Amino acid sequence: MAIRPVEEIIQKPLIKRIALSIQYQGTHFCGWQRQKTAGSVQEIIEKTIFSLEPFYPIKLVAAGRTDSGVHAAGQVAHFDSVGQVPVNRWPLALNGRLPSSIRVRDSSEQKSDWHACYSAQFRRYRYIIYNGCTPNLFLEPWSWHRYQYVLDENLMLEAASGLIGYFDFSAFQRSGSNRKNSFTTIQEVRLSRQGDLLVFEIQASGFLYGMVRLLVGQLVLVGEGKLSIKDFEKRWKDKLRSEVKEAAPARGLCFLRAGYKEPVFRDNIVFDSFPGFSLLTSDPPS
């Protein structure tokens, strides 16, 4: 009787690639990526997944690595599963074990070569500036209270619009990046005023380390009349990183979503993940 190879006797596990849509309030985390000395979103979710599937190495890969204190409304991440948890049950299974500052909103199964980071065609961020004179406790965790001057949103949008295209944005890159170069493509910028709120959105093929916060810091100087559009353009076009010193605080920044060739989640999960704020702009009734 011939002896069968071990590979034929031991059945290989069926590996499923699971995509997750994740929200988190970044206030108390060191960012998305694992760190040796502080708690990260990645580490907490990986440990939670492992508690449900303790028989396969868990590595959670995200579309974008948010910095310390930055929020996410529609972060996309994937991991490989060999367990018995049904694909559509992952949000419920994880949310019952995660801290209240992290929530999984949706899950789907993707092809084995689909990648949350490398398959993404764009990433989109939103930054909120509260430009009112009076402090607002309920806006504080989600916005930058910049109240010294009334910001000129038209000047800020004019300056930001010149960024669209494929350029070297090393002027807006913090030290410590491991990227091979500083080139990326900014696809769209939007800036609108809603009463005392300024909402800035930017979409790009990818972002440099600390890019959005440095960029917003410069745009605010333009809006306050402290930096001309000409000088703003000179700083980034001539790659004058030493002159870009002002960075917006992390709390006003949120990773909105990542885009893919084919839909990964339901539309309401992708586009309704970060509801807008509204402020009373007229006098209250007497």
Q: Give catalytic residues, as residue numbers.
A: 67
* Cβ-proximal residues to 280 (8 Å cutoff; 6+ apart), any chain: 195
Residue 280 CB neighbours (<10 A): 8
Closest CA to 116 of 70, 59, 67, 71: 59
Please provide the size of the chain in residues: 286
- Alpha carbons 11 and 172: distance in angstroms, whole number: 51
Distances (CA, A) of 250 to 80, 154, 216, 255: 31, 24, 11, 11
- Looking at the DSSP bridge assignments, the partners of residue 62 are 77
φ, ψ of residue 124 in degrees (nearest 5): -135, 135
